[in-house]
Chains A and B, each alone.
Chain A
Amino acid sequence: MTKGGAAWIALALLFAVASALLGWWTVPIVAALWGWASTGRPWLSAALAAAAAWAALLLVTAFQGPVGPLAAKLGGVMGLPAVVLLMLTVILPATLAGSAAEVAAIVRRNVFRGARAGQGS
């Protein structure tokens, strides 16, 4: 496994553990830290890791209870197909994580750029 792959798995695990222990709001925070610490464009890896983390948590729940029938009923309540609701459950963390990581990465770049510019002058 590459170093990047291992880091991505660690990130996904961190998303999962933080979400389970503390709540959904940890997703943008963890992603922002990832974006800040990463070089390059971290939004894709953050989005995929968050989506994978929540999908895995959902899968764990599905092994223990009837998530499918629940999705069908909730979909009915919200006027959405069940599959859309399930997709939303992975799209939401992906969106939060991807955008948070990207914002953090851009801020970091600009902060460093500013710092370098300051040193240059």
Chain B
Amino acid sequence: MRAGAGSGIVRGLISAIILAAGLQLAARRTGPLPPLGALLDPWSGIWSVALQAELPSRQVRELPGLAQPVEVLYDDRGVPHIFAANSEDAARALGYVVARDRLFQMELRWRTAAGRLSELFGEGALELDRQVRALGLAWSAEQAMATLDPESPVVREIEAYAEGVNAWIAGLSRRQTPLEYHLLGAQPTAWEPLYSLYLLKLMGWDLTYWVTTDLDRLKLAALVGAEASLALAPVNSPIQQPIQPNGSPAARFDLPPLPEPGQPDTAARRLAEELEVAMGSMFGGAGSQERPRLGSNNWAVAPSRTESGFALLAGDPHLKLTLPAIWYEAHLVVPDELDVYGATIPSVPLILIGFNRDVAWSFTNTGADVIDYYEEELDDPQRPSRYLLDGEWRPLDSRVEEYRGSRGRALATDTIYFTHRGPLIRRGDRRLSMRWTVLEGSGEPEALRGASRARTVSEWLKAMEKYQAPAQNGIVADRDGTIAIRSTGRFPIHPDGVGLAVRDGRASASDWMGFWPVERYPFAIDPEQGYLASANQQPIDPKVDSTYLGAHWESPWRAMRINALLAADSAATPEAMRRYQTDPGNARADLFVRYFLAAAKRELATSGSAASDVRQAARLLGDWDRRYTRDNERALLFEYAMEELAERVWDELLEPTDVGATREAAAAESTKSASEPDRVFTPSSAVLASLLHQPESLWWDDRRTVESREDRDAVLVASLAAAYRRALEEHGEPGGGGWRWDVIRHANIYHMLHLEALSALDLSIQGGPGNLNPSYGNGVHGASWRMVVELAPELRAWGIYPGGQSGNPVSPHYSDRLDRWVAGELDPLLFPRSAEDLADASRAAILELFPERRP
């Protein structure tokens, strides 16, 4: 009896322990695992995500706030065609359907801009939140909202959109919650109209924050002096193929002599350190530690140069690629007011890039200098309340920022100070204020709204005059055959004519003197050449207008290539436009391969005992057609040669500690791996091209070889040989398959939470550095949306983005477009005039939205 009682107690204890452990796992977060009870619940847990994979073929819902019924037809690509009686209803329905497909993405984006990620992810996101709030994005969105007329159509549409999003959230059962919320153990948060403006500010951050070259120049000056720094990071591109045509069909090479390395500038070093601290670790934008390789293409062809006699327009913005994609396709129809199709960003009731019945448009980033930093003097470095301006103390504005964790627990509090210029960033005794056009703009929603309603190019240009930031090269074409391009946005007029330094905040004379008038924006309409193109190159030839606009221009290789293609095509077709978007030709390779081969040839001619690897490398490179096709086996050698070349030429730009280390290592190794250079700045390949014309410049000397002084050809030959040896070592013999470009280069499209299982990785694509379809670094940037429009009497359009309409990873529309995007294909975009016009075969689902019934 006693033994039986004892075993019962043991059994009871064991059961109690198992129960306690089970409850712990089921109810509480365990490490990275969310509570398993709610997660694995087969009815309303994560498994219910499978239920939302497909859109119901027919659904009828009430949508509060609607004035009239709205019909939403989903086509077979998952694109909603929204037929509404007025624009507010259209915006409300758009909010509803976008939330249905992309709710978590919307929440993640607004939280990023607002610096409120720690409420979702916990304390690990606190530092990023603090940095974002210090930038003032949320503050500026609130300021912008306050300046907008609450009764204006655009504000009413933003509010209607928010109501649509909230109607979806309100009707959301646990069984309809997106997967990411299950994983995080979180619930969707109600949407506020302000969040739409957050998104526009976030775009501004992504597209302009990293553009500043102030820091680059200061770091360069700290190492090689001011004169050399200006030459290595020049204000004007050494190769001119401007957006605003300059009358020259081909690129002009303005290759000024590069001054030799000068003495280190200690004052520049101090300022560089201050600025680097002030800019924080967000240099890459949107939380990325890596400086993004953003770039985009757009072009338009006049009817005189198209096969059909109608204008053509193409656009492909290159952004960070994510799953789900940054874009969402939608078609909005309001009789007699709006009939627009294109790419919206989940969060805003606006089509950003697209077309209506008469006009098509697209954007590339201008890259203008729209940020300046000011060194401020404060009354008290620890607890400032005033700053000095023109000899008088002026009060600082302040804003208290509170940070909370995932359960509402208070994590931290910061006070952000503002001068009249913008937010003040303070680290220790360093204090810099920042003026940034992105923090001042509020005209974007109205401009983009007007653009989508324009009937002609001139109406579109007029509407876009209100656009402020981020500055964009907007290309536009209409059915009358007019084509135009204009760099649009607020371009500051800097007091000294340039914007390259950290300014003295104590003087109002340091402030911007205003902004460029619209009439002076880089602009072209119906040019004689019959086409227009932009690829983030310098907008205006400085010989036409030398006013400072910025100093961070992408090397013009893509611009040169597209201009060459368009100049050679006098009967352009939509199919040709599509091909050009992933064209494998490369102007950079066209230029540099010639020099490599010439140097190798001279070396082989003068030195009979030239190493066999030089001979082999030259033979292989000479075989190459300089096209970055997937199956080519030579682009690898060229890219390695370019890396080795930069390693040798810019050895003066290594971080000082590395120079010493490199010298010590010089005797032991003849070639240093170029895979991870630690330079303060790498001058552009266009600057490197300038140097090709100075074969004896001191820049060519490889300081690691102390006993000799190299010239251009010696460095080109050494780089080519080293590249060949590296390719052999890393990828085996050429011809063995290891050198194929599709083995080497990949696009990597990560899920927005960086969950690899929900990502699309190692996608082999056609393109490389400097291609129209560029591929750099770790492959996370690329063509985020490709569109071709023919402005015929009945407009036709094609488009694609990597991913799909749905944010649900098991939806057939999560990544259904990836294969075609990788292949460079486009989908025909259905553009029905009415619900009846959408063929039954193309209808995948119908959603009927009705006004809420009054009780």
Residues in A lying within 8 Å of B, measured CB to CB? 19-20, 23-25, 28, 43, 54-55, 57-58, 60-62, 64-67, 69-70, 73-78, 85, 88-89, 92, 95-96, 98-100, 102-103, 106-107, 109-110
Contact = CB atoms under 8 A, between A and B. Distances in A.
Contacts of A64: 50-51
B44 interface: yes
27 contacts: A19-B42, A20-B44, A23-B37, A24-B41, A24-B45, A28-B22, A28-B23, A55-B42, A57-B42, A57-B43, A58-B42, A65-B50, A65-B53, A70-B47, A73-B758, A74-B46, A76-B756, A88-B40, A89-B40, A89-B42, A92-B22, A92-B25, A92-B36, A99-B19, A102-B12, A102-B15, A103-B15
Contacts of A43: 15
Contacts of B8: 106, 109-110
Given A23-B38, A66-B53, 19 more contacts: A19-B41, A24-B38, A24-B45, A28-B22, A54-B42, A57-B42, A61-B47, A64-B50, A67-B50, A70-B50, A73-B810, A78-B33, A85-B40, A92-B36, A96-B26, A98-B15, A100-B19, A109-B8, A110-B12
A92 B40 CA distance: 8
Contact of A24 (B26, B48, B757, B758): B26
Contacts of B756: 76
Nearest to B49: A70
A96 B19 contact: yes
Contacts of B809: 70, 73
Residue of B11, B15, B52 with most chain A CB atoms under a 10 A cut-off: B15
Contacts of A19: 41-43
A29 B202 CA distance: 48
A19 B43 CA distance: 7
B22 A61 contact: no
A92 B37 contact: yes
Interface of chain B: mostly helix, strand, loop or mixed: helix
A95 B22 contact: yes
Given A73-B758, A76-B756, A110-B8, A99 B22 contact: yes
B24 to A, nearest CB: 11
B591 interface: no
B12 A103 contact: yes
Residue of A24, A77, A78 with most chain B CB atoms under a 10 A cut-off: A24
Contacts of B665: none
A107 B12 contact: yes
Contacts of B148: none
Contacts of A54: 42
Contacts of A23: 37-38, 41, 44
B47 A28 contact: no
Contacts of B52: 65
A69 B8 CA distance: 44
Contact of B23 (A73, A88, A89, A96): A96
Nearest to B47: A61
Contacts of A65: 49-54, 810
A82 B755 CA distance: 16
Contacts, number: 116
Contacts of A89: 40, 42, 47
B727 interface: no
B16 interface: yes
Interface of chain A: mostly helix, strand, loop or mixed: helix
B231 to A, nearest CB: 50
Nearest to A85: B40
Given A23-B44, A24-B45, A61-B42, A106 B11 contact: yes
A106 B27 contact: no
Interface string B1-34: 0000000100110011011001101110000010
B26 A73 contact: no
B183 interface: yes
Size bracket, chain B contacts:
35 or more
Contacts of A95: 18, 22
Contacts of B36: 88, 92
Residue of B22, B25, B45, B183 with most chain A CB atoms under a 10 A cut-off: B22
Interface string B181-207: 001000000000000000000000000
B138 to A, nearest CB: 30
Contacts of B40: 24, 85, 88-89, 92
A60 B48 CA distance: 10
A117 to B, nearest CB: 11
Contacts of A74: 46, 757
B42 A77 contact: no
A19 B52 CA distance: 20
A24 B27 CA distance: 9
Nearest to B755: A77
A20 B48 CA distance: 11
B570 to A, nearest CB: 49
B46 to A, nearest CB: 7
Contact of A106 (B15, B44, B47, B48): B15
A42 B44 CA distance: 27
A107 to B, nearest CB: 7
Interface string B359-375: 00000000000000000
Contacts of A107: 12
A119 to B, nearest CB: 17
A88 to B, nearest CB: 6
Given A61-B51, A73-B810, A102-B11, A24 B22 contact: no
Nearest to B9: A106
Interface in B730-788: 755-758
Contacts of B38: 23-24
Given A25-B37, A54-B42, A65-B54, A103 B47 contact: no
Interface in B305-324: none
Interface in B578-627: none
A8 to B, nearest CB: 19
A110 B8 CA distance: 9
A72 B51 CA distance: 16
A10 B542 CA distance: 84
Interface in B37-71: 37-38, 40-54
A85 B49 CA distance: 15
A70 B810 contact: yes
A67 to B, nearest CB: 5
B19 A103 contact: yes
B19 A73 contact: no
A80 to B, nearest CB: 10
Residue of B51, B54, B183 with most chain A CB atoms under a 10 A cut-off: B51
B5 to A, nearest CB: 8
A28 B43 contact: no
Contacts of A98: 15, 18
Contacts of B758: 73, 76-77
Interface string B438-475: 00000000000000000000000000000000000000
Contact of A73 (B15, B48, B54, B757): B757
Contacts of B44: 20, 23
B760 to A, nearest CB: 12
Contacts of B46: 70, 74
B37 A24 contact: yes
Nearest to B175: A61
A24 B47 CA distance: 13
Contacts of B51: 61, 64-65
A101 B42 CA distance: 21
A54 B43 CA distance: 8
